[in-house]
């Protein structure tokens, strides 16, 4: 396949770069990368609306829902340029890259009209309520129940590892509605307003010191019947569709790996070993490892383009997305591990060296979460084996 931009794509890429130069100032980047609290979400909402107004967000979505009806390749160009510009964390990625595409496939028309434009412009932040303390990798074993009673559904149970649920407006919750059938056939998906009575959210402190993840408790949370997404007892299809889109969304991290590789090279150039004047980049072992990671970073970018070309127009990503997700998240972790190793070679009696090491340490710890989100690396290997390669379970 031809990986060069067409004349139209090249022009679009130039426009994206020019817009980012004008709108992503260093001051704004710092505000947008704060990553915690309501004030941060307010900054991100404005950023999301600016992206949408410029035609740079949900570009491939239908115009009726805020998009431009553009080819999916233009979405990739936007993701690539955002990564190169070190743009802020996409807090709305769950809604835009996972829940929104699923709603287009499986939701009722009234739900699409109500939810999709507000996802696109940042009015509503969505989270995902799948994992439970006793049902992580085995999602079908979940125990959260939704009982139909007097024209409503009443939900009781607990979810965990919920990203940004403490700041979210909605949660897409998977609950058991029929305990009498095989476990994956009795699940239903619900669009749950996080302001509903009976919901308690408790942020979880991660090993990097942040509180992006949460546990959510549902105590007699009442929902109308029209909160069902898809069909009753058809939640497994919703979950699988969302996970395929999630793998694809996380795979976009491959563009971030290219940007990260540039930072890694600069770190190796500028880090002096101990109190000497020897640059870490001059060490043969480090040069070899950097060269290997550079090749893998290029592969991550090429995989994004290659697997996008394999998705039918308007279709759902296939098991190949698991290859992307596995490769890019493990590569991200490996690059941060080398960065931490290089930063630790400096003379740590110097305060700037200590601060640099601390920043890389936080990013390294964060990288572990990316190998778990959307299914662990072990689960991705199972998906690749069974669904892509046709190996026995």
Q: Report the predicted TM-score, pTM, of the whole model to 2 decimal places.
A: 0.86
Q: What percentage of residues in the chain have a pLDDT greater than 70?
A: 94
Q: What is the mean pLDDT of residues 209-235?
A: 94
How far apart CA 124 and CA 45 sit, in angstroms, is 9
Query: Could you tell me which of 221, 237, 244 has the C-alpha nearest to residue 170?
Result: 221
Are the beta carbons of 163 and 215 closer than 8 angstroms? Answer: no
Q: Three-state DSSP class for 148? A: strand
**Average pLDDT, whole number, for the chain?**
90
pLDDT at 69: 93
Answer yes or no: 246 catalytic. yes
* 287 or 321, which is more confident: 287
Q: What pLDDT is attached to residue 264?
A: 96
Average pLDDT for residues 164-185, to the nearest whole number? 94
Flag whether pLDDT at 133 surpasses 80: yes
Residue range 87-96, pLDDT digits in tens: 876 778 889 9
The residues facing 152 across adjacent strands are: 149, 224
Q: Which of 36, 246, 330, 355 is catalytic?
A: 246
How far is 154 from 328, CA to CA, in rounded Å? 39
Q: Which helix (H) or strand (E) holds 214?
A: strand 213-224
Average pLDDT of the residues in 333-339: 97
* Distance in Å from the first CA to the final CA of the chain: 33
How far apart (Å, rounded) are the C-alpha atoms in residues 350 and 146? 57
Report the pLDDT averaged over residues 20-37. 80
The pLDDT assigned to 251 comes to 53
pLDDT tens-place string over residues 309-327: 777 666 667 777 888 889 9
* pLDDT given at position 207: 84
**What pLDDT, on the 0 to 100 scale, is given for residue 196?**
98
Q: What pLDDT does 375 receive?
A: 79
CA dist., res. 32 & res. 263, Å (int): 19
pLDDT exceeds 70 at position 135 = yes
**Residue pLDDT, tens place only, 60-77:** 999 999 999 999 889 889
Residue-level pLDDT at 248: 64
Exposure string of 100-119, with b = 16+ CB inside 10 Å and e = fewer, is bbbbebbbeeebbeebbbbb
Whether residue 250 has pLDDT greater than 80: no
How far apart CA 38 and CA 186 sit, in angstroms, is 36
Concatenated DSSP letters of 299-335 = HHHHHHHHHHTTSPTT----THHHHHHHHHHHHHHHH
The confidence score (pLDDT) of residue 80 equals 86
- In the predicted model, what is the mean pLDDT of residues 98-114? 95
Q: How confident is the model at residue 380 (pLDDT cuts 50, 70, 90)?
A: confident
pLDDT higher than threshold 80 for residue 190: yes
Residue with tokens 């980047």: 29
Q: What is residue 252's predicted lDDT score, i.e. its pLDDT?
A: 65
Average pLDDT over residues 229-251: 84
The SS3 assignment for 35 reads coil
Q: Could you tell me which of 201, 157, 195 has the C-alpha nearest to residue 176?
A: 157
34 pLDDT tier (thresholds 50, 70, 90): low
Q: How many CB atoms lie within 10 A of CB 28?
A: 16
Q: Structure tokens of 215? A: 């546990």
Mean local confidence (pLDDT), 122-144: 90
Q: Which of 11-20, 254-263, 288-297 has the lowest mean pLDDT?
A: 254-263
């Amino acid at each position: 396949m031809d990986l060069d931009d067409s004349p139209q794509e090249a022009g679009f890429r130039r426009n994206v770069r020019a817009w980012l130069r004008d709108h992503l100032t260093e001051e704004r980047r710092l505000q947008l990368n704060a990553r915690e609290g309501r004030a941060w979400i307010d900054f991100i909402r404005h950023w999301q609306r600016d992206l949408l107004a410029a035609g740079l967000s949900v570009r491939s979505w239908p115009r009726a829902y805020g998009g431009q009806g553009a080819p999916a390749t233009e979405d990739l160009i936007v993701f690539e340029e955002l990564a190169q510009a070190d743009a802020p964390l996409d807090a709305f990625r769950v809604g835009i890259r996972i829940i929104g595409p699923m709603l287009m496939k499986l939701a009722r028309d009234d739900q699409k009209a109500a939810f999709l434009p507000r996802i696109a412009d940042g009015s509503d932040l969505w989270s995902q309520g799948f994992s439970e303390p006793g049902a992580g990798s085995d999602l079908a074993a979940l125990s959260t129940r939704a009982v139909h009673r007097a024209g409503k559904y009443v939900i009781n149970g607990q979810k965990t590892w919920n990203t940004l649920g403490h700041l979210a407006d909605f949660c897409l919750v998977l609950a058991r509605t029929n305990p009498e059938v095989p476990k994956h056939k009795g699940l239903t998906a619900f669009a749950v307003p996080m302001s509903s009575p009976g919901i308690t959210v408790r942020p979880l402190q991660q090993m990097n010191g942040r509180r992006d993840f949460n546990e959510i408790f549902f105590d007699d949370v009442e929902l109308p019947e029209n909160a069902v997404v898809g069909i009753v007892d058809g939640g497994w299809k919703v979950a699988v569709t969302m996970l395929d889109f999630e793998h694809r969304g996380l795979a976009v991290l491959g563009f971030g790996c290219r940007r990260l590789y540039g930072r890694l090279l600069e770190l190796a150039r500028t880090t002096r070993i101990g109190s000497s004047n020897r640059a870490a980049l001059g060490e043969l072992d480090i040069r070899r490892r950097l060269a290997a990671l550079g090749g893998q970073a290029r592969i991550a970018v090429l995989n994004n383009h290659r697997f996008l070309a394999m998705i039918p127009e308007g279709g759902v990503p296939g098991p190949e997305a698991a290859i992307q997700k596995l490769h890019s998240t493990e590569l991200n972790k490996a690059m941060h591990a080398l960065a931490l190793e290089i930063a630790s070679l400096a003379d740590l009696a110097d305060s700037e060296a200590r601060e640099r090491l601390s920043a890389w340490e936080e990013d390294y710890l964060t990288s572990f979460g990316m190998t778990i989100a959307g299914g662990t690396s072990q689960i991705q290997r199972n998906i690749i084996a069974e669904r892509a390669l046709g190996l026995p379970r």
